């Protein structure tokens, strides 16, 4: 990557090479003990270094700094927002005109419709209530079920909500980016995918797939998505962490 090489002073991204700090720059333990100021000194050096890097970049740049905090609302922001909102209004009008949904017969309040559904954002919970095909029949009960299907679905809700409630105690969320904690990021992606697949189970009547296949999809897709996320993030992490380590090399223990 020698084509990206600029002057060493202006590099702030950690660079591509020189992953490990030079030996003479890594302080030994005795040198660290001699440092009376300790962490405050280290903090000062770190911020001074990044300040200096910013200054060098600014000196190199031909960008003219002006005393503005942002773009004025009129016309910049308004015109941009107007174009965005007009695009979406146009799409709504276009689709409503091109695909008008048929007007069905009015609802009959005296009879319960065949398919009852909550609002779409509760489909995941409704899908959990429809897990009764997984409620196992027990041999000791002559194939009878220990829990009723209704209780089974409610307990599935308890399990999922409990897992979500437990998450903040298992992981404090100190990572700023998914790449810093690939495992927890993959858990999150798996959960997000599960919320979609389990929601699809709620509308199983409307999906032209056999129910056993749908149930497999519900539980296999999140795992697959989590594994893929983990692999991708783990692969990305190498380059990312090396760049970070180079910047924080003073914090690493000496050899």
Partner 1 sequence: MADEFIKGFGILTGAGLVWMVLAGWYQTPSFFMTNQLIAPPPEPGNVFDAISIFLIDIFLWTAILGALTFWLLIPAGREAAAALEERRESS
Residues that bind partner 1 (CB under 8 A): 95, 98-99, 101-102, 104, 205-208
Query: What sign does the CA torsion over 227, 231, 233, 237 have?
Result: positive
Instruction: State which H helix or E strand residue 84 sits in.
Output: helix 78-98
Residue 200 CA to residue 222 CA, distance in Å, equals: 13
The number of beta carbons lying within 10 Å of the beta carbon of residue 184 is 17
Min dist. Cβ of residue 98 to partner 1 (A): 4
Least separation, in Å, of the C-beta of 91 and partner 1?
Answer: 8
Rounded least distance, CB 208 to partner 1, Å: 4
For residue 75, is the peptide bond before it cis, meaning its omega torsion is within 30 degrees of 0? yes
Q: Which residues contact 1 (CB under 8 A, 6 or more apart)?
A: 16, 17
Using the minimum distance from each CB to partner 1, give the nearer residue, 7 or 102: 102
Among all chains, which residue has been given the structure tokens 């990572």? 175
Q: Which is nearer to partner 1, 166 or 211 (CB)?
A: 211
Q: Please, what is the minimum distance in Å from the beta carbon of residue 94 to partner 1? A: 8
In the complex with partner 1, the residue whose CB is nearer, 95 or 138, is 95
* Residue 140 token pair: 């000791």
Of 106 and 208, nearer to partner 1 (C-beta) is 208
């Amino acid at each position: 990557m020698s084509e990206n090489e600029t002057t060493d002073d202006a590099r702030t991204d950690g660079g591509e090479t020189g992953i490990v700090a030079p030996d003479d720059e890594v302080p030994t333990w005795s040198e660290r003990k001699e440092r009376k100021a300790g962490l405050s000194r280290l903090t000062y050096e770190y911020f001074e270094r990044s300040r200096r890097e910013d200054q060098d970049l600014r000196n190199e740049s031909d960008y003219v700094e002006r005393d503005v905090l942002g773009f004025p609302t009129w016309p910049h922001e308004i015109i941009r927002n107007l174009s965005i909102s007009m695009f979406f209004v146009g799409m709504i009008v276009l689709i409503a005109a091109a695909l008008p949904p048929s007007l069905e017969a009015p609802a009959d309040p005296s009879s319960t419709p065949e398919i009852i559904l909550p609002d779409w954002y509760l489909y995941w919970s409704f899908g959990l209530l429809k897990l009764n095909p997984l409620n196992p029949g027990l041999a000791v009960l002559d194939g009878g079920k220990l829990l009723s299907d209704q209780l089974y679905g409610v307990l599935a809700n308890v399990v999922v909500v409990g897992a979500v409630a437990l998450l903040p105690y298992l992981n404090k969320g100190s990572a700023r980016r998914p790449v810093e904690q690939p495992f927890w990021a993959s858990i999150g992606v798996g959960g997000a995918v599960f919320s979609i697949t389990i929601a699809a189970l709620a509308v199983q009547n409307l999906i032209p797939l056999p129910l056993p296949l749908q149930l497999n999809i519900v539980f296999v897709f999140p795992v697959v998505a989590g594994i893929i996320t983990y692999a991708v993030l783990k692969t990305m992490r190498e380059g990312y962490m090396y760049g970070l380590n180079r910047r924080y090399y003073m914090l690493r223990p000496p050899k």
